[in-house]
Structure 1
Amino acid sequence: MRLKTAGMLTGLAATGFVLSQVATATSVMAAPSVAQSPTHIYIDGTNVSNPVHVVAMDPWGDNKTSWVPIFYLQQALSKAVVQTKWNGSDLTIIPPASWTIQPNNLKTRQELKNGEMDFIVGNNQYEIAPKLVEKDPSSGVSTTYVPVYYADQALSKALGMEAAWDGLNWSINTQSTILPTSVVANVMDATTEVGQPTVHFGTPSNQVTVATGQGKDTISAVVGLRSPSGDGTGQLVFFFHNKQFIGLNANVEAIRILSVKPDGQGRIQVTYANYASSDPMVKPSLPPQTVTYTWNGSTMTPSATLDAGVTFPTQVTAPAPTVSSSLS
């Protein structure tokens, strides 16, 4: 049995051809009734598809997981000029020639069993996954569903892509928009607590990217953690415009950031844990605070001032924002 980590929320997608192709897949699970939920798929910050996904048991684990019709997976990737081919068991992914295929994450080639599919890149097998056949509510046609978690693993291993999945939004970042590791690391390392120059930031999260609506312009957000941090508290959101640093969410550290999500063109939504003065770090008692940060052409402006229970009093200092130009 292949196991996956319970509770994983990251995921990656792929998509492109004729819907009738997916109807030839072999049914994997007898799942006469599954929960259906809306989905918003973003490619490099642009909302490209809004299908319905289902929530059903992962046959290789002990928890429920989210599944998306493979047609929409293919269709979404086609927006990033990534070609795909589906034959009922193999999803072959053909990235642009300028992209880098990761050669160090290959699996030993295995034969597929009944109810399995795989992800092929460069004639190599990068991941095997369970598959589910259900009716697509949009077309009424029986189609193959792919689990978000395993799609995430495949595209991350094969193409170094990133995505964030929160049960509604699937934000997928391709090689075209992923922030260089060195850029993020340099900015975080140069961000310190005032009066404590040895305390800086690291452990970056996956980025969340939105389009600004102006050509190929994008805004990306990455969460960094105070270093050292013995309890996982002390976090900042680092914002980038076209891969150039433009500032922080605040000049003080958040105690804990619960989520970072796309919220439309040029908008990123951040939700913070909110603590009463007597709360232990493991159990905030106040309702979380959600703030939307909006691109105004030069910086990200918050929709509200952070509540007192959201932040530590310690101020931070960051590198000067880089003057960023628009992309056409």
Structure 2
Amino acid sequence: MPVIRNSARAFIAALIVLVIFHGIMSVLGLGVFLANKLEPPSPDRAFQIFVTRVAVDAVLLAAGHWLLRSFGLATRMVYGLMGGAAAAVGYAFALSQDLNIAPALDGTHLTASILPIIVGMISATLYAQFAGREMLRGRHGDTAIADAALTPAIPANFDGPVQVRTSMAATAIASMVPAALVALITIPFVTFFLTQWDTGGSQNPAWANQISQMALPAYFFMATLLATAIPSAIIVSVTHAAARAFRRTAGMDYAIIGAVVGVIACVALLMLFPTPLLALVVVAAAIMGAAYRRFAGIEPLALPEAVLATDPAALVGEHDAARRTRAVIMNG
């Protein structure tokens, strides 16, 4: 039966997503203390919470992968659901063990779990994509032989027509590109130009100053993500639809089509926000198109749909003489 392979490379890719997410949330949590003029947790305590959260999610992801392999489930949708469930369990464990730098407010525990669950789904889906599939031999010899006889042979190579997959996970990842660009622009700005921060009389000004330098890019990332996630997803979807319409599958093609879609979006936005900064939309759209192509993957074109026929006489070709002439039946 087909299962998702054990792959250290794919697990590292999934782990990077978790590390980035928990890193951003940890920095934002530390920033809450400075905003409220409170003493933040020590660097050791903050690092301990960060490592524990990442380790718990990584263990749950590995356990979910082992469980799905045991049941022979190898679809990306199943892995996405598993990742969301694993993230939910990790979030509940963190709440029970007080592993949050800045705990969620009362009455927001359920809504605060939405973002970790989405990140967990993306992480598990990436693992399934990067790891690939393999055929797992059955535990019992007879069953394995019977399954092998019923399963059609899979060719080692494929030279037929392909298309880029429609992937929600790839759309979500590509939609983060504008927020990532804003964060990358902000990091050197706060590092080299804004070096003095009002730490509110903290007992450890150096640590508070480092938190401030890390928190500003994280805040800009989250604010930009919330503001641009849906428009970016629309741009990615239009880019993907246009690329499919023109039968384009290369990453460069997706980048070019994304840039064209970005130009169209800029023309529309210029009527509302006349600013030269909209040129960055074209760059972001091109990167989003290439990122979507990278994470979506390709699939073979679907075969023609089966025809439901009730009259055997109608099963003739398009240019058959029967379709150009009509039989005459005398009525009366």
Q: Would the TM-score normalized by the shorter structure come out above 0.5? A: no
The structure with more radius of gyration: 2
TM-score normalised over the length of structure 1: 0.24
More strand by share: 1
TM-score after normalising by structure 2: 0.24
